[in-house]
Amino acid sequence: VKYLAPVPVAPSEFIEPVPDNYFIWWLFRNRCVVCHKSATEVNEIVPRSRSKKSVLLWENRVTLCRECHNEYHRHGVNSKTIEKMQQQRYDFLMSSGREEYANYVPLDVISA
């Protein structure tokens, strides 16, 4: 009889989402969600000029490098660029081991 060692289970590192910059940097592992280089800034997907409330939503924030940030704003932000950035955010979270944040639903919404 062979003894099989238990498969180590990584402890959950889930942190309740908040819109502060520390959480956003941690969430995206200090990487640009577009090119995966080192990020230099936190950016709102829906710009502040369009929605003041969106600044308070962690789901609306991503980290970008300087080049990708400039490219995002180069020709103005429109619904097509917003949709593309939201998809890049989702893809980054799914590929970087943060799936639980890509599909996050707050507990108060579940229990309501």
Which run of H or of E encompasses 80? helix 79-95
Angstrom distances, CA of residue 27 to CA of 36, 69, 74, 81: 13, 18, 26, 22
Copy the structure tokens of residue 19. 């819109």
Confidence (pTM): 0.81
Q: List all residues 6 or more positions away from 41 whose beta carbon is below 8 Å from its beta carbon.
A: 63, 64, 65, 66, 69
The pLDDT tens digits along the chain (112 residues) read: 556 555 555 556 788 898 899 999 999 999 999 999 999 999 999 998 888 888 889 999 999 999 999 999 998 899 999 999 999 999 999 999 999 999 887 655 444 4
pLDDT at 35: 97
**Cβ atoms of 16 and 90 closer than 8 Å:** no
pLDDT at 52: 81
pLDDT at 15: 85
pLDDT at 56: 85
Short-list 110, 79, 100, 69, CA closest to 61 = 69
pLDDT at 11: 56
pLDDT at 50: 87
Three-state SS sequence of 1-34: CCCCCCCCCCCCCCCCCCCCHHHHHHHCCCECCC
